[in-house]
Amino acid sequence: MHELGIIVHVAKTLKHVALQENVSKIGSVTLEIGEVSGIVESYLTDCWEYYRKKDELIEDSKLIIEKIEAVTYCDDCEKTYPTVQYGRQCPYCKGYNTWLAVGNECNIKEIEAC
Protein backbone atom coordinates (compact mmCIF):
# COMPACT_ATOMS: atom_id res chain seq x y z
CA MET A 1 0.00 0.00 0.00
CA HIS A 2 1.88 3.06 -1.22
CA GLU A 3 -0.89 5.36 0.03
CA LEU A 4 0.62 5.38 3.53
CA GLY A 5 3.96 6.46 2.08
CA ILE A 6 2.22 9.29 0.27
CA ILE A 7 0.54 10.44 3.48
CA VAL A 8 3.86 10.30 5.39
CA HIS A 9 5.47 12.42 2.66
CA VAL A 10 2.57 14.90 2.71
CA ALA A 11 2.82 15.17 6.51
CA LYS A 12 6.57 15.86 6.30
CA THR A 13 5.94 18.54 3.70
CA LEU A 14 3.24 20.09 5.91
CA LYS A 15 5.66 20.20 8.87
CA HIS A 16 8.25 21.94 6.73
CA VAL A 17 5.72 24.53 5.50
CA ALA A 18 4.35 25.01 9.03
CA LEU A 19 7.84 25.76 10.35
CA GLN A 20 8.50 28.27 7.58
CA GLU A 21 5.15 30.01 8.04
CA ASN A 22 4.96 29.76 11.85
CA VAL A 23 1.77 27.65 11.77
CA SER A 24 0.84 25.50 14.77
CA LYS A 25 -2.27 23.73 13.43
CA ILE A 26 -3.55 22.75 10.00
CA GLY A 27 -7.30 22.73 9.40
CA SER A 28 -7.38 21.01 6.04
CA VAL A 29 -5.24 19.80 3.19
CA THR A 30 -6.45 19.59 -0.40
CA LEU A 31 -4.71 17.03 -2.59
CA GLU A 32 -5.09 16.80 -6.35
CA ILE A 33 -5.00 13.16 -7.43
CA GLY A 34 -4.65 12.13 -11.06
CA GLU A 35 -7.28 9.81 -12.43
CA VAL A 36 -4.65 7.27 -13.54
CA SER A 37 -2.16 7.82 -10.71
CA GLY A 38 -2.83 4.39 -9.24
CA ILE A 39 -3.73 5.95 -5.90
CA VAL A 40 -6.80 4.40 -4.29
CA GLU A 41 -8.78 7.24 -2.75
CA SER A 42 -10.37 5.16 0.01
CA TYR A 43 -6.94 3.79 1.04
CA LEU A 44 -5.50 7.30 1.03
CA THR A 45 -8.34 8.54 3.25
CA ASP A 46 -7.93 5.60 5.63
CA CYS A 47 -4.19 6.25 5.86
CA TRP A 48 -4.85 9.93 6.57
CA GLU A 49 -7.24 9.03 9.38
CA TYR A 50 -4.65 6.69 10.86
CA TYR A 51 -1.62 8.97 10.49
CA ARG A 52 -3.15 12.27 11.56
CA LYS A 53 -3.72 10.85 15.05
CA LYS A 54 0.05 10.51 15.37
CA ASP A 55 0.87 14.11 14.45
CA GLU A 56 -0.23 17.08 16.56
CA LEU A 57 0.02 19.47 13.60
CA ILE A 58 -2.64 17.64 11.57
CA GLU A 59 -4.58 15.73 14.25
CA ASP A 60 -7.76 17.80 13.78
CA SER A 61 -7.39 18.38 10.06
CA LYS A 62 -9.52 17.25 7.16
CA LEU A 63 -8.26 15.71 3.93
CA ILE A 64 -9.95 16.96 0.77
CA ILE A 65 -9.31 15.10 -2.49
CA GLU A 66 -9.86 16.58 -5.93
CA LYS A 67 -9.59 14.37 -9.01
CA ILE A 68 -7.62 15.45 -12.08
CA GLU A 69 -9.02 13.98 -15.28
CA ALA A 70 -6.44 12.05 -17.30
CA VAL A 71 -5.78 13.58 -20.72
CA THR A 72 -3.64 12.07 -23.47
CA TYR A 73 -1.94 13.98 -26.29
CA CYS A 74 -1.48 12.58 -29.80
CA ASP A 75 1.72 13.67 -31.56
CA ASP A 76 0.34 12.63 -34.96
CA CYS A 77 -2.81 14.74 -35.09
CA GLU A 78 -1.89 17.13 -32.23
CA LYS A 79 -5.19 16.63 -30.38
CA THR A 80 -6.00 15.68 -26.80
CA TYR A 81 -8.59 13.21 -25.59
CA PRO A 82 -9.83 11.56 -22.34
CA THR A 83 -7.36 8.82 -21.47
CA VAL A 84 -9.66 6.54 -19.51
CA GLN A 85 -12.29 6.47 -22.25
CA TYR A 86 -9.92 5.77 -25.16
CA GLY A 87 -6.67 4.39 -23.73
CA ARG A 88 -3.48 4.72 -25.78
CA GLN A 89 -5.14 4.76 -29.21
CA CYS A 90 -6.11 8.22 -30.43
CA PRO A 91 -9.86 8.35 -31.21
CA TYR A 92 -9.27 10.93 -33.97
CA CYS A 93 -6.48 9.48 -36.12
CA LYS A 94 -6.38 5.94 -34.63
CA GLY A 95 -2.62 6.29 -34.06
CA TYR A 96 -0.61 5.14 -31.05
CA ASN A 97 1.94 7.96 -31.03
CA THR A 98 0.42 9.27 -27.80
CA TRP A 99 1.50 10.22 -24.31
CA LEU A 100 -0.17 11.07 -21.01
CA ALA A 101 -0.29 14.84 -20.69
CA VAL A 102 -2.05 15.06 -17.34
CA GLY A 103 -3.67 12.72 -14.84
CA ASN A 104 -0.82 10.93 -13.08
CA GLU A 105 -0.15 13.59 -10.44
CA CYS A 106 -0.45 13.82 -6.70
CA ASN A 107 -0.14 17.47 -5.64
CA ILE A 108 -0.75 19.45 -2.50
CA LYS A 109 -3.10 22.07 -3.89
CA GLU A 110 -4.06 23.94 -0.74
CA ILE A 111 -3.29 24.05 2.97
CA GLU A 112 -5.71 25.69 5.39
CA ALA A 113 -3.83 26.90 8.45
CA CYS A 114 -5.48 27.60 11.78
Cα–Cα distance, 25 to 40 (Å, whole number): 27
CATH number of 2-69+104-113: 3.30.2320.50
Apex 6 CA angle, 100 and 69, nearest 5 = 30
1 pLDDT higher than 70: no
- Using an 8 Å Cβ cutoff, are 76 and 99 in contact? no
114 pLDDT higher than 90: no
The tens digit of pLDDT for each residue in 45-95 reads: 999 999 999 999 999 999 999 999 999 999 999 999 999 999 999 999 999
For the full predicted model, state whether its pTM sits above 0.75.
yes
Extents of the domains making up the chain? 2-69+104-113
The tens digit of pLDDT for each residue in 5-20 reads: 999 999 999 999 999 9
30 pLDDT higher than 60: yes
